[in-house]
Amino acid sequence: MNQHQLKKALSPLPLGDVRYFDSIGSTNNEALAWATSGAKDLSLVIADEQTAGRGRLDRKWFTPKGTALALSLILRPTAAEKLYLTRIVGLAALAATDSLRTRGLVSQIKWPNDVLLNGRKVAGILVESVWSGEEVDGLVIGIGMNVLKGAVPSDGLLFFPATSLEESLGPLVEREKVLHDILAGMIALRPHLSSDSFIASWEKALAFRGEQVQVEQGDGSLLTGKLLGLESDGSLRLTDEQSKSITVRFGDVRLRPRA
């Protein structure tokens, strides 16, 4: 990553400290350790390559050198924000979709943590917490985005098809500028975290709204229903075939295969 461009892109933002790595295991691991040892609010870890990038449930996230964004932003939530921590994944997802919209691309959020472009995964989000006793003392918002085609893993490694910004925008897309826009988006959205309009925007960006979906829950069981929207804590709202409402807190959504 071009250091000069990176500095220039980040300089207008009110960040804490910034740690840049040409190569690292996982930016989230670095950020979690840093948050534990006192990192300031809005400190950032960014890497050009991850050798042990993580998704949820110990899944792997691939970040080949020179092709993608791998960032972890540390938040020190205020007392007011602590009431809305389950919305933070939406903050990241909305900032990512906004950064694509400014480039003329319409993307969607596959609940809870994937950003889709043309129905394919272009970014993934992993939010993790640092605790101090019973309280969350820090949050790490990890975002991986495929910028160039080389970031996209081969199909055999994926559960869901993937894409890159290059596939829609050509090879000239600048990682540093996309990074700036995602961070600026999160910073701008943060004061609205508690608002109804925040949930409304998040809901509007959801993939498969009004469609029959399957949700694979943490224990592997499958739930089927029509995807309606979000609860105020960011849980997913569905209705089953008997029109009974269902709320899902953890899981992976996919379109229900047609019978």
Measured from the CB atom, the residue of 53 and 185 that comes closer to ligand BT5 is: 53
CA angle 53, 42, 97 (to 5 degrees): 65
- Residue 189: enclosing H or E segment and its boundaries? helix 175-189
Residue 236 and residue 253 in contact, taking contact as beta carbons nearer than 8 Å = yes
Stretch that binds ligand BT5, among 4-12, 157-165, 172-180, 231-239 (CB under 6 A): 157-165
User: How far is it, in rounded angstroms, from Cα 108 to Cα 255?
Assistant: 14
Q: Does 80 bind ligand BT5 (CB under 6 A)?
A: no
| Contact range with ligand BT5 by CB under 6 A, out of 77-85, 148-156, 183-191, 194-202 | 148-156
Element (H, E) at 216: strand 212-216
Is the Cβ of residue 64 or residue 192 nearer to ligand BT5 in the bound state? 64
Other beta carbons within 10 angstroms of residue 57's beta carbon come to: 8
The one among 10, 91, 139, 151 contacting ligand BT5 by CB under 6 A = 151
Under the binding rule (CB under 6 A), the answer on residue 153 touching ligand BT5 is yes
Contact 63, 151 (CB under 8 A): yes
The residues binding ligand BT5 (CB under 6 A) are 26-28, 50, 53-57, 59-63, 70-72, 113-114, 121, 124-126, 142-144, 146, 151-153, 158-159, 162
